[in-house]
Amino acid sequence: MKQAMTTTAIVLALLLSSCSQQGNTEAAHSAANAGEVQAAADQIKDPGMTELKPPSPDSVLYVIYQRDGDGAISYEIDGGAMVTYWYGYPFNLKGRHYFTGFATSTEGETGPDAETGMMEPGHVAIAQATFVQGEEAGQAKWTQLDTDGYVGEFGSNDQADAIDDSRKPLSHEIADGRLLLAIPTRRFDDGIANANYAMFLFDPDNVDDLSFRKWGYLGSIAAGSDNAAGCEDGKVTPCAASTGTLSFEAPGQAGLPNVKITFTGKEISGPGKVRDLGAEDALTYAFDTKEGRYQP
């Protein structure tokens, strides 16, 4: 679902939001999004990116859904869908400065999933608004490049996968001008905290023939786990924690790099037993054009 707004209207909306909501919403934004924004901002050291603040979370939501949340970063829209700001990522690509704000929405009675059919039960739709940095009258400004209400879906219980602030996002620039982005996430299930990377592809010039538009969600990759919440000091179940390090490897299908996860730590190897993880336990994920996502 794409929203059509003129550049002037978008810039005005962002400026008004930044000015009018700063005092009322800065504390809320800081509490809910400081980890996400800081993790993304840490990736960018270019002075050009620090001169201009990224669009605010409530501005991103307004651009995508065209509904004013009065400064909120999660609110209900028409049809009963709940929309929520998820993650903001500033980045450089081919000499241009970008910012993408990701959001999610529950299905509701109507919503952005309408053009793709019913979502999987419990999933949320992922949306995005992307801005490019330019200049007007000697002043840096953000101009809307693209917005899309559906670039994929994930999560459970009508909640998005949680951002893992303890790890930084990773990206890989492809020679043809695309960008592969790995956003660290964490999901808690049955006493186990599972670390993952949510994979996204940015194709600003539409150079590939994949079904994705400017952005596409390519699935999530497992990158470690920790059962500390359920192992009870090893009295019943052994305690085991592992960490996965991501690296981008040689390209495979659709020109996308394979992704390798190298594990360290321990895993349960049998009743009451754990073993050390080593180089032989590494997993390589390749993009599958048929499935539209990375598969081990």
pLDDT of res. 109: 63
pLDDT of res. 8: 40
pLDDT of res. 75: 97
pLDDT of 42 > 80? The answer is no
C-alpha 281: how far from chain center: 27
Tell me the average pLDDT across 215-231: 94
Q: Which amino acid belongs to residue 282? A: A
pLDDT of 193 > 90? The answer is yes
Rounded to an integer, what distance in angstroms lies between the CA atom of residue 115 and that of residue 150?
9
pLDDT in tens, 122-180: 999 999 999 999 988 888 999 999 999 999 999 999 999 999 999 999 999 999 999 99
Q: Which amino acid belongs to residue 103? A: A
pLDDT of 20 > 70? The answer is no
Closest C-alpha among 204, 106, 209 to residue 150 = 106
pLDDT of 277 > 70? The answer is yes
pTM: 0.80
Q: What percent of the chain has pLDDT over 90?
A: 69
Strands (E), the chain: 74-76, 82-93, 96-105, 124-136, 139-154, 162-163, 170-173, 179-189, 192-202, 215-226, 241-251, 257-270, 273-276, 283-288, 293-295
Q: Which one is predicted more confidently, 10 or 207? A: 207
Rounded to an integer, what distance in angstroms lies between the CA atom of residue 123 and that of residue 126?
9
Pairing of strands 170-173, 192-202: unpaired
Dihedral sign, CA of 57, 59, 65, 67? positive
| Count of positions (residues) in the chain | 296
Rounded to an integer, what distance in angstroms lies between the CA atom of residue 179 and that of residue 92?
10
What's the burial of 292, exposed, middle or buried (CB within 10 Å: 0-12/13-18/19+)? middle
Residue 217 near residue 199, CB atoms below 8 Å: yes
The pLDDT confidence band at residue 51, using thresholds 50, 70 and 90, is low
pLDDT of 43 > 70? The answer is no
Q: What percent of the chain has pLDDT over 70?
A: 79
pLDDT of res. 111: 45
The pLDDT confidence band at residue 234, using thresholds 50, 70 and 90, is low
Q: Which one is predicted more confidently, 96 or 13? A: 96
The pLDDT confidence band at residue 79, using thresholds 50, 70 and 90, is confident
Helix runs in 42-184, H state only: 47-50, 57-65
Cβ within 8 Å of residue 224, ≥6 positions away: 194, 195, 241, 242, 243, 244, 263, 265
Residue 246 near residue 182, CB atoms below 8 Å: yes
The pLDDT confidence band at residue 16, using thresholds 50, 70 and 90, is very low
Instruction: Output the DSSP codes for 215-245.
Output: EEEEEEEEEEEE-TTTSGGGTSS---EEEEE
Rounded to an integer, what distance in angstroms lies between the CA atom of residue 56 and that of residue 32?
12
